[in-house]
Structure 1
Amino acid sequence: GFLHLFIMSRYPITKVLLKCVKVSTILTRTFIKGQLEEKEKIRRARAEECKKQPNEGSQLKRMKWNEKESLDKEIKR
């Protein structure tokens, strides 16, 4: 009988512990998910920046090239 009581008294504790574990796993999962989403957002933003940058770079090149052209013309004059 004593062992039975011992197990019965222990049982709710394990249940509570299991609940705590479940809650914590859910929390960690959502936390990880949130972090992954943040990473994804950052990656997307970087990708967008990279998409924009080449255009800017080519524009700069074009400007430099135009400057060079005008300089060449002036030198030829």
Structure 2
Amino acid sequence: MADSPRCKDGRRARSDCHEGRAVASRDYLRSLTRGEVRCTVTGRDTYGRALARCVSGGVDLNKAMVRAGMARRYR
């Protein structure tokens, strides 16, 4: 997100650090959700944050966001 410390400190000039991309990503995710969103935790990243697979109305939100270029696959 554009307001993350990584984007604010100026160490990296990243295309995903622009406010417009964050807003577009949020809006796209909203357009994908249909009613209830169900998330299943699938693991943890190196910082202990939950990694999850989320589905709404039969749509895999994770895959849809990556396919549209609005998110990146975690490695």
The answer to whether TM tops 0.5 is no
TM-score range, shorter chain: under 0.3
RCO comparison, higher one (Cα < 8 Å, 6+): 2
TM-score (norm 2): 0.24
Higher helix share: 1
Structure label with greater radius of gyration: 1
TM-score (norm 1): 0.24
